[in-house]
Structure 1
């Protein structure tokens, strides 16, 4: 389906389970499925109420703007859940920046994400330069971010946070994105319009909306080459000179995990308080 077999997809998810599952835990999963292979197209699936086995945990979550007011999302907390998703050809597993609370309630967001999307004429190399600038900017506030490839053309930066208001994460990400765009409007934009993104890196702060999701760390991408959303070291970001420098296939992950462990582990244990926004 991606130049690999379903068995190899399953093998990947079981190989990364130890580092992947803590980031999926208690987050409703949106699956992107390619039942007929990546050359035949895909579909997003949120509601699995009709076919999920009884041993798959589900959570009823509101879906504003969807076909119904809510849906029964899968919650993948164990290897059996990963195997079930792989068997459905759910190559991509997307999650929000918050976790479920009691009775399918919603905890405040525990992550801020900066989604760096290269416009026409730019690449992940340009994303890496912008990522470094974001890291420098937030360091002024005593904050640390953790970089990751998207598994596609771009990158994400994550900050583990504790907030007093759910809106804080979007407000903070938007302020940083607009600061960068104001400082370097020829290379950075905080506006989604396609025409404004040509030749620039779009710092998508809107992914912090509670109804949006981003690809999960260690998830495969539905591409002809089975790339993976891969955590990075900042040294790798600084050293990036070509897109190949930040492109990782599923076969690369076991050695990376053996060398680095889970580079996203600080997201699970080191929450940071967001500063008051500058006027």
Structure 2
């Protein structure tokens, strides 16, 4: 069953609103409500960035698949961008979520939103640096917080401002606004810092992805700075056992975290946090907070 609605002058068919998407009972209607009410802080993080969608139309416990190219049936008013691919001369066309109607159309597909570290008008020119801190059991986000504190100090020594959010899964994402620079340079710089972190916190950090190295340690994933990679966007829902959200957090919260539950946020937690804090990542959009990458000529 579909329900027709109008969003800022665009007519949309929103389907299966009563469908349960999460084992907790969270429905598709609640998912759409979450994205609609979070739009003022979510949209700036999506705008102008070619999106990849992680779709889970049969719910969080159903099949997941990445959709990068513009889906069939996309309305003609949805803006898109051509994105270079790794093959010589190859490209794809991705959706740009520029406004509320496009956000609600995309949310109706049941999606996580994933973005590159660059905008559509400058492919491969990163305007932010990202580290994905991923704990290997029995390590948790508590251990990620210890690594995040080290990375913050190290990045600040290079003149950067440093921000953080939960991944919405088990770990943390560290974000740094940059003066635009080639993703090749950001990837090299991030890898170097991940190796430094491993040396500084032997026994806690690994910089390589190999599964056998990761139990009880935090994998500092530097590779998401590669131009072809994407990262879960701030405020996106995640396809987990509950409607968890990739949530901006304060450094005070990271300093104080002694239990994983203290940095686990779900859809219902976001509106009160935004009311209290605003968008903790809004400095990412201000060029005055961006700094050049050390030793990078672009």
Which interval holds the TM-score relative to the shorter structure? over 0.9
2:294 is equivalent to residue 275 of structure 1: yes
CA contact (8 A) 1:6 1:86 kept: no
Out of 89, 102, 110, which is 2:110 matched to? 89
Out of 117, 123, 126, which is 1:109 matched to? 126
**Counterpart position of 2:95:** 74
CA contact (8 A) 1:118 1:201 kept: yes
Distance 1:10 1:165 in 2: 36
**RMSD of aligned alpha carbons:** 1.6
Distance 2:104 2:120 in 1: 22
Summarize the alignment of residues 140-151 of structure 1 with structure 2, pairs less than 5 Å apart.
Answer: 140-151=157-168
TM-superposed CA distance for 1:163, in Å, is 4.0
| Structure 1 unmatched runs, 5+ | none
CA contact (8 A) 2:133 2:173 kept: yes
**Counterpart position of 1:254:** 271
**Count of matched residue positions in the alignment of Structure 1 and Structure 2:** 271
> What TM-score, normalized by structure 1, do the two folds share?
0.93
2:198 is equivalent to residue 198 of structure 1: no
SS state at 1:114 partner: strand
SS state at 2:227 partner: coil
Distance 1:208 1:109 in 2: 8
SS state at 1:112 partner: strand
**Counterpart position of 2:52:** 30
Stretches of 4+ moved more than 4 A in 1? none
**Counterpart position of 1:184:** 201
> What TM-score, normalized by structure 2, do the two folds share?
0.87
2:242 is equivalent to residue 242 of structure 1: no
CA contact (8 A) 1:29 1:94 kept: yes
CA contact (8 A) 1:16 1:254 kept: yes
CA contact (8 A) 2:51 2:96 kept: yes
User: Of Structure 1 and Structure 2, which has the larger fraction of its residues in strand?
Assistant: 2
TM-superposed CA distance for 1:63, in Å, is 3.2
TM-superposed CA distance for 1:121, in Å, is 1.6
Q: Residues 230-262 of structure 1: CA distance to partner in whole angstroms, max 9, x if unpaired?
A: 000000000101110000010000000000000
